[in-house]
Chains A and B, each alone.
Chain A
Amino acid sequence: MSTNKRLPEAAACQRAAEQMLSYALEAGADGVEVMVRDGAELEVRLRLGEPELIKEAGSRALGLRVIKDQRPAVTYTSDFTEEGLRRLARESVELASLAEPDPFALLPAREVMARTVPDLDLWDDEVPNLTVELALEWTKRGEAAAQARDKRITNSDGASFSRVVGATAFATSAGFSGGYRGTYVSLVVQPLADDEGGKKRNGSWWTGGRFVSALETPESVGQTAADRTLAQLGSQKVATCEVPVIFAPEAGRSLMGKLAGVTSGGAVWRKSTYLADREGTEVASPLIHIVDDPLIPRAPGSRPFDGEGLASRPNVIVDGGILRTFLCDTYAARKLNRVSTGSAGRGIGGSAHVTTSNLILRAGSTPKAKLEQLPEAFYVTHLMGFGFNAVTGDFSQGASGFWIKNGERAFPVSEVTISSSFDNLWKNVDALGDDLDARSSVQVPTIRVSHMMIAGR
């Protein structure tokens, strides 16, 4: 089987974006932003040695934002014919007349636009050449390694391979046009084990990165997945109590995602974060240092410019527990009477909004094993549910993991919740591991919180 013949080209995307820009200006727009994405994906799922799904496709789309008399409108299309683009330009300008004038809805000032597009080494030539056959082989090896690990592994939710190659271009009448390409490949293995009482236990493990050379071997992924599954056999519910809680990076990432939400400038001007009035004050333990850095070579969340064409730059969000800045796009910055932090993200179908790039909680100095040296604690490997209110900071989530007794992992735990205010959770961090997990665009070490309420039996 061949791989996709046509590779996404940043230059072609940029030409399309610039073309649309000129059509929209001709149609009477005062300000125009165009985003073009072109991508090709291959997804392969295999289960019990047989292919379950092979999915291959290319996809191209254009998102447009026009401003006319301070009235914005957003539209999108996948029709790249000249006629289609010209029609969208006209319709978008007409559509803007339905909005009301918004003095904050201006394009960024010319002088803040990116001048160059740094090469962040986001493209691996090897990735588009990964064939269906190779994907099947990797998934087979990963699943087989999991199944062979222990006879208590009795079933499989399969192994999945995914590779994405894509180009993104952005053009704006504020004076910027640029594009870049990126690759990403991942492999996940999900074995199952039968537990008592008809319950099944599923664990999983994954490897992923922009470069093939960064991946773990399929065998290593499969074995770790099996070990994580087996470790849950015999899970129990514990009695309701208050104990220290340790978050593995798998669980800690979701805490960081929520923190990014409540430090976003968009949430601040909407009064929808409990941190709205807390800039410059203590919002976390002095151990906490958080940075959003879009310029790390080869990192999953890196981007050479932001969703409005501003130069990417690292931003320190929390420094020694003090909230240093809210991340802002141009709109949030104007609403808050400040300048953008270059943190705009943008999808095809919408306006720019604040997003993080590579969001990093700096590792601490405590070896991971030492974090568990406690008479009693709950080590959380997995969080579940939607129990977080950004406005109040109330936090209550389902959790599973291990019970720690006298520094040892005594037994697996499931079907309990952990609760605290989010503010207290971060202020009560009393140790950070030295084990930063850099696989994804949210990078965290193991996090220990001095106490939280566990609701169980």
Chain B
Amino acid sequence: MTSGRGRRSYFPRAGRRTFGKNHPGAWSIISTMAAIATSPLDQIDAKLAERLLAAALEGGADYADLYFEYAAGAHFGFEDGQVKSVGKGVTLGLGVRVLKGDSTGYAYTEELAEDRMLEAARTAGRIAAAGGGAGPVALTRVSGLDLYKINEAPWDRPGAEKVEMLRQADRAARAYDPRIVRVEVGWGESLKDVLVVTSDGKIARDFQPMIRFTVGAVAEEGGQRQTGRSAGAARRGMELFRIEGQSPSEHGTEAARLAIAMLKAEDAPAGPMEVVLGPGESGILLHEAVGHGLEADFNRKKTSNYTDMIGQSVASPLVTVVDDGTLMNARGSINVDDEGNPGRRNVLIENGKLVAYMQDRISSKHFGTQASGNGRRESFRHEPLPRMTNTLMMAGQDEPGDIIRSVKKGIYAKHFSGGQVNISNGDFVFSLTESYLIEDGKLTAPLKGVNLIGNGPDVLRKVVMVGNDFQLSPGTWTCGKDGQSVPVGIGNPTMKISEITVGGTKAQ
């Protein structure tokens, strides 16, 4: 223990200063900070952690870690011109993970009474056969990053101010066009206090904020309806809404614009075509086409189509893909991961060559490499897995306008709702919510929602132009794996794929 020596030593609250102070008043009852100001994790001292780790290891396991979590969140829902729902919740618990070789024992408790925590530790520890295990060593604080600088903490602001922002978005959407018949606006804020203590001596504490603003609009004309959505999410404070494109009224206008534009949408073509992917949200292609396949667990188990391919060419030389957990204030960024390692920027593919996988503890031991800051989990109820943070494709040389002009007949993809991949063979789909036909180098008709389907390595070899206009998507992206959801970021420049299958209804 760093400063045990017979007295209680608490785990320091790094980063607390970034959250401002809590103001009393009506809002404090729904203030996440009010809850965090007296976090029960402050009561966890080093001696207690040591006792829990000892209990987890008494069966003879190799390693154990404790993941304490105290999360508070609040939300508003606004529809039909009114605040329709308000809610809040608090989650508290401890997850104990014990490793013996590649095997994981896991247990959790929602009660932080010592007997309950010891029971969870022993339950998880049963993974190991009996025998003397390594005891915990001296704990050292991991200095994480400081990526969530917040100027104006949302939990310090009155509810009325947030309600006014919901109204602004609603008004902007309705003012955009009289054919907008319905608007829904959502607000979410959360703060997660995390304490990780590992039997190999690491302590990490992190306070992870998130703010989310979403607008959905429905347009109606002649019995036809269409929807549009605009959303922003980041580890930021109220200053998020002063960024261009992120104000409540801009989100309202954008959702309405999309819904109205889609009223004129035509049936999309079916079959292989040239496709230009717009900047920002098209990063979902990387997330699905290569991201998941480069998570180390699948490669350790040899179940990914990228197994044993480090050093080999897996994409066009124009393609450089990075998973970067260190972008300031980004949704997918982490000061420390959920195994107590600092967030990192990891180059996955460099000029088409596969450089590295994203690691968690089990996999990094297997590959004999160091932790890459990708060990993440949804909550104390879940074991860590190798996960993406912000997965990005680096900018290239081409002017975006030139890329579009180079296409005689094809598709321009602008907005996406999501994607999915089969890790084993690399087949993926992603779903377009806003796209246009390109004819003779110009965007023409808007197209109805359509899927693109391809194979990861195949499509990445067909990247033939890459723009100089990298954008990080400001959206509310969430990645699911093995039933666990974590917030992630995506980003890319404009890029052209020489051929990908477009899943429309119109034969060409």
* A interface residues (Cβ-Cβ under 8 A, vs B): 1, 47, 50-61, 72-79, 91, 94-100, 102, 105, 132, 155, 157, 192, 195, 198-202, 235, 237, 240-242, 270-272, 274, 276-277, 349-351, 384-387, 389, 391-392, 394, 396-398, 400, 414-421, 453-457
Given A51-B127, A398-B451, list of 6 further CB < 8 A pairs? A57-B123, A199-B426, A200-B305, A271-B220, A351-B85, A385-B451
Q: Are A456 and B110 touching (Cβ within 8 A)?
A: no
Residues in chain B within 8 A of chain A (CB atoms): 26, 29-30, 76, 79, 82-93, 101-110, 120, 123-124, 126-127, 159, 163, 181-182, 184, 218, 220, 223-227, 268, 270-272, 301-305, 381, 383, 417-420, 422, 424-431, 433, 448-451, 453-455, 501-508
Residues of chain B within 8 A (CB-CB) of A54 are 103-106, 126-127
- Shortest A232–chain B CB gap in Å is 9
Residues of B within 8 A of A52 (CB): 102-104
- CB nearest neighbor in A for B80: A102
Contact A201 B504 (CB under 8 A): no
Question: Out of A75, A192, A392, A420, which one reaches B505, CB within 8 Å?
Answer: A420
B504 touches A453 (CB 8 A): yes
B431 pairs with A385, CB closer than 8 A: yes
Asked if B182 contacts A270 (CB within 8 A), the reply is yes
* In the complex, the 3 A-B pairs of residues with the closest C-beta atoms, listed nearest first: A417-B503, A385-B429, A398-B429
> Can you report 17 A-B residue pairs in the complex whose CB atoms are below 8 A from each other?
A55-B383, A56-B123, A73-B85, A78-B91, A95-B86, A98-B30, A98-B159, A157-B303, A241-B507, A387-B450, A389-B227, A389-B433, A396-B504, A414-B427, A417-B501, A455-B270, A457-B501
A to B contact number (C-beta, < 8 Å) = 250
Interface centre among A100, A235, A276, A457 (most CB of B within 10 A): A100
Q: Collect the chain A residues with CB atoms within 8 Å of residue B124's CB.
A: 56
On whether A455 and B422 interact (CB within 8 A), knowing A57-B120, A271-B220, the answer reads: no
Q: State A79–B70 Cα separation when bound (angstroms).
A: 12
Minimum distance in angstroms from A412 CB to a CB of chain B: 11
Whether B92 and A192, one on each chain, are in contact in the complex, defined by CB atoms closer than 8 angstroms, is no
A417, B272: Cα distance in complex, Å: 11
* Most chain A beta carbons < 10 A, residue from B123, B223, B448: B123
CB-based contact A385/B420 at 8 Å: yes
Residue of A1, A96, A98, A198 with highest tally of chain B CB at under 10 A: A98
A157 near B82 (CB under 8 angstroms)? Answer: no
Q: State the CA gap A198–B109 with chains docked (Å).
A: 43
In the assembled complex, the CB of B308 is this many whole angstroms from the nearest CB of chain A, namely 9
B417 contacts across to A, CB distance below 8 A: 386
In the complex the two chains form, is B425's CB within 8 Å of A199's CB?
yes
**Once the chains bind, are B92 and A51 in contact (CB under 8 Å)?**
no
Question: How far is it, in angstroms, between the C-alpha of A342 and the C-alpha of B455 when the chains are bound?
Answer: 45
Q: Which residues of B contact A453 (CB under 8 A)?
A: 270, 504-507
Separation of A198 and B123 alpha carbons in the complex (Å): 41
Given contacts A199-B425, A385-B420, A417-B503, contact A457 B272 (CB under 8 A): yes
B103:A201 contact, CB within 8 angstroms = no
The answer to whether A78 touches B102, judged by C-beta atoms less than 8 angstroms apart, is no
B426 and A77 contact, CB distance less than 8 A:
no
The CA of A413 and the CA of B269, in the complex, are separated in Å by 21
Q: A158 to B45: give the CA distance in the assembly, Å.
A: 39
Return chain A residues, CB-CB under 8 Å to B92. 78-79
B133 to chain A: closest CB distance in Å?
16
Q: Which of B84, B88, B272, B422 contacts A95 (CB 8 A)?
A: B88
Contact: A271 with B181, CB < 8 Å?
Answer: yes
| A455 touches which of B91, B418, B425, B502 (Cβ 8 Å) | B502
Q: Which residue of A lies closest to B78 (CB)?
A: A100
Partner of B104, one of A53, A157, A351, A417: A53
- Which residue of A195, A418, A456 is within 8 Å of B425 (Cβ)? A195
The answer to whether A418 and B503 touch across the interface, beta carbons within 8 angstroms, is: yes
Give A48's nearest chain B residue, CB to CB. Answer: B301
Residues of A close to B424: CB separation below 8 A? 157, 192, 199-202
Which residue of A241, A349, A392 contacts B87 across the interface (Cβ within 8 Å)?
A349
Q: What residues on A are CB-neighbors of B103 within 8 Å?
A: 50-54
Contact partner, A394, options B106, B419, B425, B448, Cβ 8 Å: B448
- Report A29 CB to chain B, min CB distance, Å: 14
Contact yes or no, A240 B270, CB < 8 A = yes
Q: Do B85 and A200 touch across chains, with their CB atoms under 8 A apart?
A: no
Which residues of A have CB within 8 Å of B163?
A: 98
- With beta carbons under 8 angstroms apart, the residue of B159, B223, B418, B508 that contacts A386 is B418
Looking at the complex, which one of A60, A201, A385 makes contact with B430 (CB distance below 8 Å)?
A385
Counting chain B CB atoms within 10 Å of each CB, the highest count among A75, A105, A202, A419 belongs to: A419
Cα A351 to Cα B102 with chains together (Å):
41
Q: Considering the complex, give the chain A residue whose CB is closest to the CB of B104.
A: A53
Contacts of A75 in B (CB 8 A): 87-89
Kindly list chain B residues whose C-beta atoms are within 8 Å of the C-beta of A53.
Answer: 103-106, 383
Q: Which residue of A lies closest to B273 (CB)?
A: A455
Bound CA–CA A91/B227 (angstroms): 36
Known contacts: A54-B106, A391-B218, A400-B427. The answer to whether A419 contacts B450 by CB under 8 A is yes
The residues of B that contact A195 with a CB separation of less than 8 Å are 425
Chain A residue, CB-CB nearest to B106: A55
Bound state CA distance, A417 and B86, in angstroms? 40
| Minimal Cβ-Cβ distance residue in A for B502 | A455
Q: Which of A100, A132, A397 contacts B83 (CB 8 A)?
A: A100
Complex Cα distance A349/B90, Å?
A: 10
Task: Report chain A residues within 8 Å CB of B383.
Answer: 53, 55
**Of all chain A residues, which has the CB nearest B362?**
A52
Distance between B298 CB and nearest chain A CB, rounded to angstroms: 9
Contact check, B429 vs A59: say whether CB atoms are below 8 A apart.
no
**CB proximity of B163 to chain A, nearest CB, Å:** 7
Tell me the smallest distance from the CB of B99 to a CB of chain A, in Å: 10
CB distance from B296 to the nearest CB of A (A): 15
Q: How far is the CB of A356 from chain B (nearest CB, A)?
A: 21
Distance in angstroms between the alpha carbons of A405 and B342 in the assembled complex: 56
Q: Which of B270, B425, B427, B448 contacts A398 (CB 8 A)?
A: B427
CB–CB B501/A57 < 8 A: no
A332 to chain B, nearest CB (A): 13
A60 proximity list for chain B (CB < 8 A): 110
Interfacial chain A residues near B104, Cβ < 8 Å: 52-55
Q: What's the Cα separation between A15 and B159 when bound, in Å?
A: 34
- B residues less than 8 Å from A61 (CB atoms): 110
Contact indicator A78/B110 (Cβ below 8 Å):
yes
Residues of A within 8 A of B450 (CB): 387, 394, 396, 419
The CA-CA distance from A59 to B111 in the complex, in Å, is 9
Residues from chain A with a CB closer than 8 A to the CB of B106 are: 53-57
Other-chain residue from A98, A155, A235, A271 in contact with B225 (beta carbon distance below 8 A): A271
Residues of chain B with a CB closer than 8 A to A240's CB: 270-272, 507-508
Closest partner residue, chain B, to A385 (CB atom):
B429
How distant is the Cα of A200 from the Cα of B105 in the complex, in angstroms? 29
- Contact A95-B30, Cβ < 8 Å, known A55-B106, A60-B110, A419-B505: yes
